[in-house]
A and B are shown apart, each in its own frame.
Chain A
C-alpha cells in the first residue's frame, strides 16, 4: 500500500495531526478535549505514518516500543500523585504554579502531568494494537 500520493500527503499531515493532538490535549482543561482525545488523534498520526511508510520505519521514528510508552504513561500519571504527596498533601491533590507567560497568567499543575500520562498510555495502547495487527498482515 505504499503509494507515493499517500506518502506525500502523510509528510504534510503527520506534523499537522501531531500539533492538533497537542492542541486538543491542552484545550482539554477548559474546553472539550483532553488526554484521551488528544492521545487518540496523536496515535492516528502515527497510524497514518505506519500505513504510508510501514511499521518498521514508524517504530524507528517512535524510538520506543509502544509498551514502554504505556509504562512511561503510567509513570507520569503516578508522578503527579507522588508530587502531591511530596508536597505534603493527599495523593493526586492538585499542585499548581502560576507562571506569567506573554503577559497572561497560566495555570500549570499536576493534573496536567497526569493528563500527559493519559496521553502517553492512549498512544501506546493504540500503537501496540495497530502495529501488531498491521504486522500480522504482512
Chain B
C-alpha cells in the first residue's frame, strides 16, 4: 500500500472543501488555493520520485484487492502528468491572485479550480474504467461551471456548445464502459487488459475501442471532433482559459494513450492506422485555423488542436521513442501553452485587448513580457533549444525511423505554419507600433495593477519560462524518465502485474 497516491487527490479536494466551507472569506479562499497548489506540487514530486525509483505504485482505497475495489495506479506516465498538473496548478493559482475578479471569486472560483485539478489528477491516477468516467465527469462539470462563471454573453454561448458536445462525449464513454464490462466482466484496467490478451472477441473489442476513440477524441479535440474547443476557449477570463488551455485536452490524450497501449492492442494495424489518419488532419486543420485568426486567444486555442495532432501521431507510431516523444510533447505543451495564455493576459492588462489589430508596441514598452512571450512562443513553434524542439524532434525521428514519409512531411509543414502564427502574434502585438485608434485600456473598470498584482502575474510566467528553458537545455535526466515511461507503456505486463500481483 502506498499512501503517496492519495495525496494528489486528497490535497486539492480538501482545499476545495475548505474553500467552500469558508466561502465568504475571500482572502482565505485565495490563499488556501495557493497553499493547496504548493502542497500538491510537493506531493506530486514525492510520488514521481517514488515511482521513478521503485517502479509502478498501486494503492487500493478501501483495501479491497485488485480487480474488485478501485485501483489507483501510478506508472511513470501518470506520475509525470500529475507532476506537471501540480506545477501548472501552482502557477495558475498564483496568477489568479492578480487576475481574478471579485464576482467570480465569491461564486466559488477557487474551490472549482481545485476540484478541476482533483478531477484531472484522478483521471491520471485511476486504474479503473468506470472510475475514469467519474473523473471525467468531475472535470466536465467543473469546466462547465468555470467556463460559464460570470455569465457574459459570449461565455454562455461558448458554454452551450461546449456542454452539449461534451455531454454527448461522456455518454459515448459510458456506453463504452458498459460494453467493456459486458465483454470482460471487470472494470479494472489491468484485469481487463489481462482478460483481453487472448480474447476471441477481438472484433467486438475493436468496435468498442472506436467508441472510446470518439469519446476521448472529443475530449482531446481531434479532427473532426474539435469544434467545441475554438468555440469556447476564448470566452472566459484568461485565468480560466489558461487552466483549460493545455490541461483538459491532455487528459483526453492521456486516456487515449492509456487505453490504446494497455487495453486495445489486439489489432494495432487497424486501430493505430485510424489514429494516424486522424492525427494528420488534426494538425493541419488546427494550424490553419490558428493562421486565420486575429484574436490571440483564438490563435492559441486552434494551436491546441494542432498540437494534439502531433501527440496522436506519436501514439499511432507506437514505438518506444515515439511514446517517449508523446509524453514529452504533452508536458511541453502544457508548459508552453499555459505560459502563452498567461502572457496574453498580462498583455491585455497593459494594452487593453486580445485582438491583434488593437495590440502593439509591447516589445518597446515591456521588454520582460516580450522576453517571456518569446521564450514560450519559440518553444511552442518547436525551435531549438527549448522544450518544443525536443518534443517535435523525438516524434519526427520516430516517424522517419519507421518510414512514415508523408505524415512526417505534413508534420514538418505544420511546424512551419506554427512558427508563422507565432510570428503573427509577435509582429502584430509586440513589434508593430500601437495602432492610433486603439484604446489604451478597453475595460471601463480597468485599474492599473498594483505591485503585488504585478508580482502575482509575472512570477508564474517567469517560473514556467524558466522551466521551459531548463528542461530544454538540461534534458538528460528528464529523458531517462520518459524512456522508462515509454517502456512501461509498451509492456503492459508491468502494469498488469503491478496491479494484480502486488
* Contacts A68-B21, A90-B61; A78 near B108 (Cβ below 8 A): no
* Contacts A85-B6, A91-B10; A67 near B23 (Cβ below 8 A): yes
* Contacts A90-B62, A91-B61; A71 near B6 (Cβ below 8 A): no
Contact with A along B12-51 (1 / 0, CB 8 A): 0110111111010000000000000000000000000000
Which residues between 48 and 94 of chain A lie within 8 Å of chain B, taking CB atoms?
65, 67-68, 70-72, 74-75, 78, 81-82, 85, 89-94
| Chain B residues in 8 Å Cβ range of A67 | 20, 23, 108
Q: How far is the CA of A96 from the CA of B59 in the complex (A)?
A: 21
What residue in chain B is nearest A94 (Cβ atoms)? B62
Q: Does B266 contact A (CB under 8 A)?
A: no
Are A91 and B18 within 8 A (Cβ)?
Answer: no
State how many angstroms separate the Cβ of B206 from the closest Cβ of chain A.
35
Q: Is the interface of B mostly helix, strand, loop or mixed?
A: helix
What residue in chain A is nearest B16 (Cβ atoms)? A74
Interface size class of A (residues with CB under 8 A): 10 to 19
Are B6 and A74 within 8 A (Cβ)?
Answer: no
Q: How far is the CA of A113 from the CA of B228 in the complex (A)?
A: 40
Are B61 and A72 within 8 A (Cβ)?
Answer: no
* Contacts A67-B108, A78-B10, A85-B3; A93 near B21 (Cβ below 8 A): no
One of B1, B61, B108 near A81 (C-beta < 8 A): B61
What residue in chain A is nearest B17 (Cβ atoms)? A74
Residue from the set B17, B18, B19, B23 with the largest chain A CB neighbour count within 10 Å: B17
Are B13 and A74 within 8 A (Cβ)?
Answer: yes
Q: How far is the CA of A74 from the CA of B10 in the complex (A)?
A: 11
Which residues between 43 and 73 of chain B lie within 8 Å of chain A, taking CB atoms?
59-63
* Contacts A71-B111, A78-B13, A81-B61; A91 near B3 (Cβ below 8 A): yes
* Contacts A74-B13, A85-B6; A90 near B21 (Cβ below 8 A): no
| Chain B residues in 8 Å Cβ range of A82 | 10
One of A72, A75, A90, A94 near B59 (C-beta < 8 A): A90
Are A93 and B10 within 8 A (Cβ)?
Answer: no
| Chain A residues in 8 Å Cβ range of B16 | 74
| Chain B residues in 8 Å Cβ range of A89 | 1, 63
Contact with A along B452-488 (1 / 0, CB 8 A): 0000000000000000000000000000000000000
One of A65, A68, A92 near B61 (C-beta < 8 A): A92
Q: How far is the CA of A71 from the CA of B114 in the complex (A)?
A: 13
Are B20 and A68 within 8 A (Cβ)?
Answer: yes
Contact with A along B86-119 (1 / 0, CB 8 A): 0000000000000000000000100100000000
Q: How far is the CA of A94 from the CA of B64 in the complex (A)?
A: 10
Q: How far is the CA of A90 from the CA of B17 in the complex (A)?
A: 21
* Contacts A91-B61, A92-B61, A94-B62; A75 near B21 (Cβ below 8 A): yes
Which residues between 219 and 277 of chain B lie within 8 Å of chain A, taking CB atoms?
none
| Chain B residues in 8 Å Cβ range of A78 | 10, 13-14, 17
What residue in chain A is nearest B107 (Cβ atoms)? A67
Are A90 and B20 within 8 A (Cβ)?
Answer: no
| Chain B residues in 8 Å Cβ range of A85 | 3, 6
What residue in chain A is nearest B5 (Cβ atoms)? A91
| Chain A residues in 8 Å Cβ range of B14 | 75, 78
Q: How far is the CA of A70 from the CA of B19 in the complex (A)?
A: 11
| Chain A residues in 8 Å Cβ range of B59 | 90-91
Q: How far is the CA of A72 from the CA of B16 in the complex (A)?
A: 11
Are A72 and B21 within 8 A (Cβ)?
Answer: yes
State how many angstroms separate the Cβ of B60 from the closest Cβ of chain A.
6
| Chain B residues in 8 Å Cβ range of A74 | 13, 16-17, 20
Q: How far is the CA of A74 from the CA of B63 in the complex (A)?
A: 21
Q: How far is the CA of A74 from the CA of B111 in the complex (A)?
A: 12
Are B63 and A93 within 8 A (Cβ)?
Answer: yes
Q: How far is the CA of A71 from the CA of B25 in the complex (A)?
A: 14
State how many angstroms separate the Cβ of B148 from the closest Cβ of chain A.
14
* Contacts A78-B17, A85-B3; A68 near B23 (Cβ below 8 A): yes
Q: How far is the CA of A85 from the CA of B6 in the complex (A)?
A: 10
What residue in chain B is nearest A65 (Cβ atoms)? B23
| Chain B residues in 8 Å Cβ range of A94 | 62
Are B1 and A90 within 8 A (Cβ)?
Answer: yes
| Chain A residues in 8 Å Cβ range of B17 | 71-72, 74-75, 78
| Chain B residues in 8 Å Cβ range of A81 | 6, 10, 61
Q: How far is the CA of A89 from the CA of B19 in the complex (A)?
A: 27
| Chain A residues in 8 Å Cβ range of B13 | 74, 78
Q: How far is the CA of A26 from the CA of B13 in the complex (A)?
A: 26
Are B20 and A71 within 8 A (Cβ)?
Answer: yes
State how many angstroms separate the Cβ of A25 from the closest Cβ of chain B.
21
Q: A78-B13, A89-B1, A90-B60 are in contact. List 4 more A-B contacts (CB 8 A).
A: A71-B23, A74-B13, A74-B16, A90-B1
Provide a sorted-by-A list of 9 A–B residue pairs whose CB atoms are within 8 angstroms.
A67-B108, A71-B18, A71-B21, A74-B13, A78-B13, A91-B59, A91-B62, A92-B61, A93-B61
The 7 closest A-B pairs by CB, nearest first: A71-B20, A71-B21, A74-B17, A93-B63, A92-B61, A92-B62, A91-B6
